């Protein structure tokens, strides 16, 4: 029954292989078909998987074992065995991820046929996209940490391809490399984490690891320190992939990629892999309050920092990018307080409404002839109504106004944080939620409402073709209703019932449940803060009272600080980039002058000693024959010599 | 069938063909090329027989053990086990590719070139199949001379300097090894009254030698191999040798010659001196980690593509010694996989550099930019090798690097693995940065006439890509080849102490 799982990733993989090999010469502007069909198959099978998983009990999963990837052998003298299989496993968590990835993936494929229409690298785009979907599906289907790591790197590679899609543009290439390199910084920790998992448990398999975890903590063989170390190392990877401080710097630059890519990879799916990783490892994190505190602090700091940067950016995609970083921060601190399911709930709702808004921004950019500056837009609602209204739905959803999707998931996170006894995080989170509502509506008002600030002679905004608007409309539906549909009542909704069969929240549930009044108070506060943010944005960007320009001038230092993104890029460039370059150059000089100088000197001594040797290097075979003969004589000579007791002389 | 001297046939076929070429006058260049290619293909087929006849036991296959010079105890002792098999396969495969790569790029002294190359093949195959120390030494030296000639005669600008450097470095090492062989021979005779240079016989007796003697002889072999690998700080011949070798020379140098060092360490050092190996582990691991980090950092700032790839070899080969001297199964598997993979990937990278050199006659990174526009197939192929080189999972490079690092991580001192792991960043930096400057960016008019990959070039690169993918996705068969060898090798090193108690 469950042996079909392999087809889910295999279908887009097949699409990739055929498209990359035959796209440029044969498929050309038809290159999208295989990708759409492949991802379509995955989508259908994901639904099948979902329905099958639905009836499973807690702890059960569909398994599809494929083949042994690596096996270093079994030895009498070694207690540990290294044997890693390419095995797929779909439990409730995976089933949810599959649905999110394939749904957004399919819509982005369809959307891209419009957005990328006529591009020279059309086939390339539609090869990388299914390759990404394949990697992402494998990432969530993997049944062990090493395989997860493999596809973790693979999605990073696809991200590199797609950010650098416009390879003639230097900024795109640099952004692509920056993304890959920054992620690899996190992967140093993640890689070591997988190793520590294996040396501790002798396996990479999730179920085995968690079973042994219980066993070995019971006997005291595995202590708190070790678990904390594993958690923190794994989290390094999550910090990179999910763009958390201090490795968040790559994600805003990743907007150099085509907008559908930003929607799929850099908003809805790949960047949530870090959240998935931590949630997947919940039994480990549950046992390490230290690690969870770190996760929570990183998360809340990122959420706040990114939101403040988002307040002042002018580029429509950059605002969305910082918003993504900020929302990932929300998920991250939710994980940190032990609220794994609310984090995953927010992951899902965010995938829909942020995917929607990114695709919407793509539609705007498309209609505005590649213009991305918000201050050169305005009043676009009249020209592109579908884009505007669907975008508005997304904006309300992320702002956290009931009953749209974002409200339910975000509110659950905030309430759980309070419940877990982190009042200061709760306060910052609520404030950040207000900032979110503000900058999102700043974006909406600047782009779609108010005066038209674009150059009417050259720019004629128009609504996008149906291939692009339909995905917007489809994504608007879950953005509207999914929160209320699966999130009600709070903490006991269908999403909890479903994911609860794969993820437990023992650490959080050790705290007393919030009373009904408290829940309602949080409802009220969240709604009020969201409305306040929207209201302030309205006053500033529609009424111009208070005027944002005057405020910016009055608090110029603060504005510059935010505009320059807290100066992280400048700092990293000065310290790491220049530092590494200097180190490399310095070592090269050392290599040529010192190391080579020394051995060259040695060689020259030998050279002088054997005078004629240099002249041997003339390329005459006869000379070499002579050398061989001499060598042979030497062997025999030494042999004769050593019949005496050279050993005694040498080592006496 | 097992009585058939398959290894001897495999070994001497290239040499015999080479001699035939020498003595038949007026052979056309075309005939010489096809003859060489045919020989390489036959060797490859023979090596496949070796691969598929491999068994699960550690006993030698296709063994030939003849009393050669009974007076001094020399035996003609050939055989293969899993380890040999792996490298025989790598050698014959790379030889075919190098010969095809020579097809259009070697235009002077064609006959002499292929004669030299075929002799080189005999030498390389001999190194990987011999179980007698003196015989091994003969083949080891036999490899040296043709390779130095290939660099010195068919190389580029600074070729003579580089060839001498290569020659002297290796010679210095092998002379030390020769002393070691003589010492072992004498000591064995003193203890048993029998004269022999047979590896397996000596290995049985050598653990009883005095520790001082074991340490010294270990060092004499080790230095010879370390130069070949090359380990820091005796790596400096490598960038020069690669920088000036013709493309096929670089391919063979990277794919096979460096592997002779790693192979030698496992085959000779560890087999004969398990105790001494443990004593040396600390310093060797430290030097390995230095090589890994240092090579990557220096590679990063190279202005010449070929030297960049050469320094990346220093990094990659550092993983080999790291894996070997971690003394656990993952380390051995990692080292072997890393060597195999490095042969494929670095061979591929050198071919890629060669493709551009053929067209532009320069290897300076700054001379290029925007190549992807003119040569899209080339860009794609180069991308695969670039990604494999930076250790992307799914391609071959990852297997060896991960396993070797994991092996080091099993040691009590986690510093080795932790520092090594940082190289995943630097490797990505130097490879991607080079790739970007050469392949991406605005296309330049001066490269407009560069043709995309020719069928000949594709026929060298595509097999390497397929092999890289295969090793990356399904390395298990290769690993199973090695399992029995590891079982025999590691047991005496690990001893009763268990794996984690090592340095």
Q: Which of B234, B297, B475 sits opposite A70 (nearest CB)?
A: B475
Distance CA B484, CA A279 (A): 40
Tell me the shortest Cα–Cα distance from A161 to chain B, in angstroms: 10
State whether residue A583 sits within 8 Å of chain B by CB.
yes
pLDDT at A577: 87
Query: Taking CB atoms and an 8 Å cutoff, what residues of chain A touch B429?
Result: 177, 181, 580
State whether residue A77 sits within 8 Å of chain B by CB.
yes
Contact residues, B window 95-154, toward A, CB-based 8 Å cutoff: 112, 134, 137, 141, 145, 148-149, 152-153
Q: Best interface-test mutation with B: which of A128, A134, A247, A588 has the largest number of B CBs within 10 A?
A: A588
Taking alpha carbons only, the member of A638, B272, B134 closest to residue A646 is A638
State whether residue B492 sits within 8 Å of chain A by CB.
no
Q: Which of A24, A585, A607 sits opposite B168 (nearest CB)?
A: A607
Q: Which of A164, A627, A635 sits opposite B440 (nearest CB)?
A: A164
Query: Taking CB atoms and an 8 Å cutoff, what residues of chain A touch B141?
Result: 628, 631
Q: Which long-range contacts (CB under 8 A, 24 or more apart) does B105-108 make?
A: B105/B246, B105/B247, B105/B248, B105/B354, B105/B358, B106/B154, B106/B246, B106/B248, B108/B154
Q: Which of B163, B424, B436 sits opposite A188 (nearest CB)?
A: B424
Residue in chain A nearest B392 by alpha carbon: A153
- Flag if A646 and B186 touch (Cβ within 8 Å): yes
Residue with tokens 């065995």: A81
Q: Which of B298, B476, B498 sits opposite A588 (nearest CB)?
A: B298
Query: Taking CB atoms and an 8 Å cutoff, what residues of chain B touch A79?
Result: 498-499
Query: Taking CB atoms and an 8 Å cutoff, what residues of chain B touch A579?
Result: none
State whether residue A582 sits within 8 Å of chain B by CB.
no
Q: What is the pTM of this model?
A: 0.92
Tell me the shortest Cα–Cα distance from A586 to chain B, in angstroms: 8
Q: In 10 A of CB A214, how many CB atoms?
A: 12
> Looking at per-residue confidence, does A643 or A304 come out higher?
A304
Q: Are A304 and A323 in contact (CB under 8 A)?
A: no
Query: What 3-state class would DSSP assign to A247?
Result: coil
Taking alpha carbons only, the member of A267, A331, A275 closest to residue A300 is A331
CA distance between the termini of chain A = 75
A-B contacts at Cβ under 8 angstroms? 211
Query: Taking CB atoms and an 8 Å cutoff, what residues of chain B touch A587?
Result: 294, 297-298
Q: Which of B183, B370, B425 sits opposite A181 (nearest CB)?
A: B425
- Flag if B425 and A613 touch (Cβ within 8 Å): no
State whether residue A187 sits within 8 Å of chain B by CB.
yes
Q: What is the mean pLDDT of residues A531-550?
A: 90
pLDDT at A244: 95
pLDDT at B24: 87
Q: Which of B137, B425, B436 sits opposite A185 (nearest CB)?
A: B425
Contact residues, B window 418-447, toward A, CB-based 8 Å cutoff: 418, 421-422, 424-426, 428-429, 432-433, 436, 439-443
State whether residue B402 sits within 8 Å of chain A by CB.
yes
pLDDT at A220: 85
Task: Name the token pair of B48.
Answer: 């496949």
List pLDDT tens digits, range A318-355: 999 999 999 999 999 999 999 999 999 999 999 999 99
Query: What 3-state class would DSSP assign to A142?
Result: strand
- Provide the mean pLDDT of chain A: 89
pLDDT at B8: 92
Q: Best interface-test mutation with B: which of A199, A591, A639, A644 has the largest number of B CBs within 10 A?
A: A591
DSSP notation for A174-235: HHHHHHHHHHHHHHHHHHHHHHHHHHHHS--BHHHHHHHHHHHHHHTSS-HHHHHHHHHHHH
Phi, psi of B80 (to 5 degrees): -135, 145
- Flag if A177 and B436 touch (Cβ within 8 Å): yes
Residues of chain B with pLDDT under 50: 1, 503
Distance CA B450, CA B448 (A): 6
Report the half-sphere exposure of A413 (CA within 13 A, side-chain side): 37
Bridge-based pairing state of the strands A83-90 and A62-71: antiparallel
Can the peptide bond before residue A285 be classed as cis, meaning omega within 30 degrees of 0?
A: no
Distance CA A259, CA A372 (A): 11
Q: Is A458 exposed, middle or buried (0-12, 13-18, 19+ CB in 10 A)?
A: exposed
ipTM computed for the complex:
0.94
pLDDT at A609: 62
pLDDT at A602: 65
- Flag if B476 and A70 touch (Cβ within 8 Å): yes
Q: What is the mean pLDDT of residues A112-129?
A: 91
Q: Best interface-test mutation with A: which of B168, B169, B385, B415 has the largest number of A CBs within 10 A?
A: B168
Tell me the shortest Cα–Cα distance from B398 to chain A, in angstroms: 9
Phi, psi of A79 (to 5 degrees): -75, -30
Query: Taking CB atoms and an 8 Å cutoff, what residues of chain B touch A181?
Result: 425, 428-429, 432
Residue with tokens 């202005």: B303
Distance CA B240, CA B156 (A): 11
Residue in chain A nearest B407 by alpha carbon: A195
Instruction: Mark out the alpha helices in A221-288 (DSSP H runs).
Output: 224-241, 250-253, 259-263, 273-280, 282-286
Q: Which of A76, A168, A638 sits opposite B442 (nearest CB)?
A: A168
Q: Which of B185, B372, B476 sits opposite A71 (nearest CB)?
A: B476
Residue with tokens 């903490």: A491
Phi, psi of A341 (to 5 degrees): -70, -45
Bridge partners for B67 per DSSP:
B75
Residue in chain B nearest A579 by alpha carbon: B297
Taking alpha carbons only, the member of A10, A33, A22, A45 closest to residue A110 is A33
pLDDT-derived band at A651 (thresholds 50, 70, 90) equals very low
Q: Is A331 exposed, middle or buried (0-12, 13-18, 19+ CB in 10 A)?
A: buried
Q: What is the mean pLDDT of residues A500-512?
A: 90
Distance CA A23, CA A162 (A): 16
Q: Which of A80, A164, A599 sits opposite B236 (nearest CB)?
A: A599
- Flag if B440 and A73 touch (Cβ within 8 Å): no
pLDDT at A270: 93
Four-residue CA torsion sign, B267, B347, B254, B386: negative
DSSP notation for A148-159: HHHHHHHHHHHH
Bridge partners for B66 per DSSP:
B76
pLDDT at A333: 94
List pLDDT tens digits, range B365-394: 999 999 999 999 999 999 999 999 999 999
Rg of chain A (C-alpha set):
29
Taking alpha carbons only, the member of A557, A566, A538 closest to residue A440 is A538
> For chain A, what is the largest distance between any 2 Cα atoms, rounded to a whole number of angstroms?
105
A357 pLDDT above the threshold of 50: yes
A643 pLDDT above the threshold of 70: no
Four-residue CA torsion sign, B322, B325, B327, B329: positive
Query: Taking CB atoms and an 8 Å cutoff, what residues of chain B touch A193?
Result: none
Q: Are A479 and A394 in contact (CB under 8 A)?
A: yes
Q: Which of A181, A584, A599 sits opposite B234 (nearest CB)?
A: A599
Q: Best interface-test mutation with A: which of B22, B226, B416, B421 has the largest number of A CBs within 10 A?
A: B421
Query: Taking CB atoms and an 8 Å cutoff, what residues of chain A touch B373?
Result: 168
Question: What percent of chain A stands above pLDDT 90?
Answer: 67
- Flag if A73 and B479 touch (Cβ within 8 Å): yes
List pLDDT tens digits, range A49-98: 999 999 998 888 999 999 999 999 888 888 889 999 999 999 999 999 99
pLDDT at A601: 72
Query: Taking CB atoms and an 8 Å cutoff, what residues of chain A touch B137?
Result: 635
State whether residue A221 sits within 8 Å of chain B by CB.
no
Taking alpha carbons only, the member of B426, B428, B420, B268 closest to residue B334 is B420
Give the least confident one: A145-154, A208-217, A489-498, B257-266. Answer: A489-498
Q: Best interface-test mutation with B: which of A203, A617, A640 has the largest number of B CBs within 10 A?
A: A617
Taking alpha carbons only, the member of B243, B278, B248, B15 closest to residue B125 is B15
Residue with tokens 């070039």: B457
Tell me the shortest Cα–Cα distance from A436 to chain B, in angstroms: 34
Bridge partners for B61 per DSSP:
B80
Distance CA B423, CA B297 (A): 9
Distance CA A335, CA B315 (A): 38
- Flag if B297 and A185 touch (Cβ within 8 Å): no
Rg of chain B (C-alpha set):
22
State whether residue A532 sits within 8 Å of chain B by CB.
no
Tell me the shortest Cα–Cα distance from B70 to chain A, in angstroms: 15
């Amino acid at each position: 029954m469950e042996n079909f799982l392999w087809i889910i990733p295999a279908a887009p993989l097949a699409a990739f292989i055929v498209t990359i090999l035959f796209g440029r010469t044969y498929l050309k502007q038809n290159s999208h078909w295989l990708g759409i069909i492949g991802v379509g198959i995955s989508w259908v099978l994901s639904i099948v998987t979902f329905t099958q998983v639905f009836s499973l009990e807690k702890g059960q999963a569909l398994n599809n074992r494929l083949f042994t990837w690596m096996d270093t052998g079994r030895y009498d003298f070694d207690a540990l065995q290294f044997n890693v299989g390419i095995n797929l496993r779909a439990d409730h968590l995976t089933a949810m991820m599959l649905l999110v990835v394939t749904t957004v993936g399919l819509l982005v494929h369809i959307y891209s046929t419009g957005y990328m229409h006529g591009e020279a690298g059309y086939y390339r785009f539609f090869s990388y996209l299914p390759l990404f979907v394949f990697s992402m599906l494998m990432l969530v289907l993997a049944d062990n940490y090493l395989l997860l790591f493999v596809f973790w790197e693979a999605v990073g590679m696809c991200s590199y391809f797609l950010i650098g899609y416009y390879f003639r543009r230097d900024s795109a290439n640099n952004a692509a490399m920056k993304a890959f390199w920054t992620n690899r910084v996190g992967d140093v920790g993640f890689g070591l984490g997988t190793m520590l998992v294996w040396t501790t448990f002798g396996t990479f398999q999730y179920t085995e690891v968690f079973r042994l975890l219980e066993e070995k903590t019971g006997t005291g063989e595995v202590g708190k320190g070790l678990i904390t170390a594993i958690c923190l190392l794994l989290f390094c990877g999550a910090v990179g992939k999910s763009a958390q401080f201090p490795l968040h710097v790559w994600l805003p630059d990743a907007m150099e990629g085509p907008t559908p890519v930003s929607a799929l990879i850099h908003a809805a799916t790949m960047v949530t892999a870090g959240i998935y990783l931590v949630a997947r490892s919940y039994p480990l994190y549950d046992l390490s309050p230290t690690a969870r505190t770190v996760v929570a602090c990183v998360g809340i700091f990122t959420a706040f920092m990114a939101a403040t940067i988002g307040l002042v950016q002018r580029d429509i995609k950059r605002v969305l990018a910082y918003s993504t970083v900020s929302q990932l921060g929300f998920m991250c601190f939710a994980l940190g307080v032990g609220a794994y399911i609310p984090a995953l709930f927010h992951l899902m709702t965010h995938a829909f409404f942020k995917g929607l808004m990114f695709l919407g921004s793509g539609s705007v950019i498309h209609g505005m002839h590649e213009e991305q500056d918000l201050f050169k837009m305005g009043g676009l609602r009249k020209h592109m109504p579908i884009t505007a209204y669907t975008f508005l739905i997304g904006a309300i959803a992320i702002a956290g106004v009931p009953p749209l999707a974002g409200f339910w998931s975000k509110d659950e996170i905030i309430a759980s944080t309070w419940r877990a006894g982190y009042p200061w995080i709760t306060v910052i989170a609520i404030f950040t939620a207000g900032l979110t509502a503000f900058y999102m509506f700043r974006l909406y008002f600047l782009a779609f409402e108010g005066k038209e600030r674009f150059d009417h002679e050259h720019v004629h905004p128009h609504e996008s073709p149906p291939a692009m608007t339909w995905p917007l409309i489809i994504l608007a539906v879950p953005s509207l209703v999914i929160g209320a549909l699966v999130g009600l009542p709070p903490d006991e909704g269908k999403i909890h019932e479903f994911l609860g069969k794969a993820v437990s929240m023992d650490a959080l549930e050790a705290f007393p449940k919030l009373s009904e009044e408290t829940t309602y108070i949080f409802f009220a506060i969240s709604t009020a803060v969201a409305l306040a943010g929207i209201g302030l944005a309205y006053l500033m960007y529609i009424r111009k009272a208070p005027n944002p320009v005057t405020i910016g001038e009055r608090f110029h230092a603060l504005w510059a600080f935010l505009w320059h993104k807290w100066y992280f890029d400048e700092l990293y460039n000065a310290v790491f980039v220049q530092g590494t370059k200097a180190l490399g150059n310095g070592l090269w000089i050392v290599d040529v002058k010192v190391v080579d100088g020394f051995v060259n000197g040695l060689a020259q001594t030998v050279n002088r000693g054997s005078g004629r040797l240099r002249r041997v290097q003339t390329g005459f075979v006869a000379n070499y024959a002579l050398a061989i003969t001499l060598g042979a004589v030497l062997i025999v000579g030494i042999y004769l010599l050593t019949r005496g007791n050279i050993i005694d002389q040498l080592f006496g | 069938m097992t009585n058939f001297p398959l290894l001897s046939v495999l070994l001497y076929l290239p040499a015999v063909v080479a001699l035939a070429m020498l003595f038949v006058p007026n052979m056309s260049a075309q005939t010489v090329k096809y003859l060489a290619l045919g020989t390489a293909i036959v060797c490859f087929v023979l090596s496949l027989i070796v691969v598929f006849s491999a068994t699960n036991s550690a006993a030698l296959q296709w063994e030939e053990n003849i009393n050669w010079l009974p007076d001094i105890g020399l035996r003609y002792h050939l055989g293969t086990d899993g380890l040999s098999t792996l490298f025989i396969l790598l050698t014959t495969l790379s030889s075919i590719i190098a010969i095809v790569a020579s097809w259009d790029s070697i235009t002077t002294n064609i006959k002499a070139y292929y004669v030299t190359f075929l002799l080189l093949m005999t030498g390389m195959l001999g190194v990987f199949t011999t179980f007698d120390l003196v015989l091994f030494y003969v083949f080891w030296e036999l490899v040296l001379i043709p390779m130095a000639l290939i660099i010195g005669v068919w190389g580029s600008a600074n070729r003579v300097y580089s060839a001498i450097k290569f020659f002297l470095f290796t010679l210095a090492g092998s002379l030390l090894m020769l002393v070691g062989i003589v010492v072992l021979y004498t000591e064995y005779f003193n203890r048993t009254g029998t004269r022999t240079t047979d590896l397996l016989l000596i290995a049985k007796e050598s653990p009883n030698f005095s520790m001082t003697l074991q340490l010294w002889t270990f060092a004499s072999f080790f230095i010879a191999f370390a130069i070949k690998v090359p380990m820091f700080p005796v790596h400096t011949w490598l960038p020069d040798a690669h920088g000036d070798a013709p493309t096929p020379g670089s391919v063979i140098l990277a794919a096979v010659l460096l592997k002779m060092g790693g192979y030698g360490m496992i085959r000779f050092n560890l087999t004969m001196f398990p105790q001494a190996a443990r004593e040396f582990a600390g310093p060797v691991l430290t030097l390995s980690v230095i090589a890994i980090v240092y090579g990557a950092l220096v590679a990063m700032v190279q202005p010449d593509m070929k030297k960049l790839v050469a320094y990346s070899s220093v990094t990659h080969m550092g993983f080999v010694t790291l894996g070997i001297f971690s003394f656990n199964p993952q380390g051995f598997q990692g080292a072997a996989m890393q060597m195999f993979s490095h042969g494929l990937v670095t061979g591929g990278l050198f071919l890629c550099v060669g493709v551009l050199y053929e067209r532009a006659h320069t290897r300076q990174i700054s001379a290029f930019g925007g190549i992807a526009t003119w040569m899209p197939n080339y860009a794609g192929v180069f991308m695969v090798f670039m990604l494999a080189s930076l250790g992307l999972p799914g391609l071959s490079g990852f297997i060896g690097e991960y396993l070797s690092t994991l092996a080091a991580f099993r040691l009590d001192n986690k510093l080795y693995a932790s520092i090594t792991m940082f190289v995943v960043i630097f490797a990505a930096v130097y490879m991607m940065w080079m790739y970007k400057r050469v392949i991406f960016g605005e296309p330049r008019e001066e490269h407009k006439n560069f043709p995309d990959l020719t069928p000949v070039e594709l026929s060298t690169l595509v097999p390497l890509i397929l092999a890289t993918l295969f090793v990356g996705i399904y390395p298990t068969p290769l690993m199973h080849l090695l399992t029995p060898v590891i079982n025999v090798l590691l047991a005496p090193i690990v001893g009763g102490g268990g794996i984690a108690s090592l340095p």
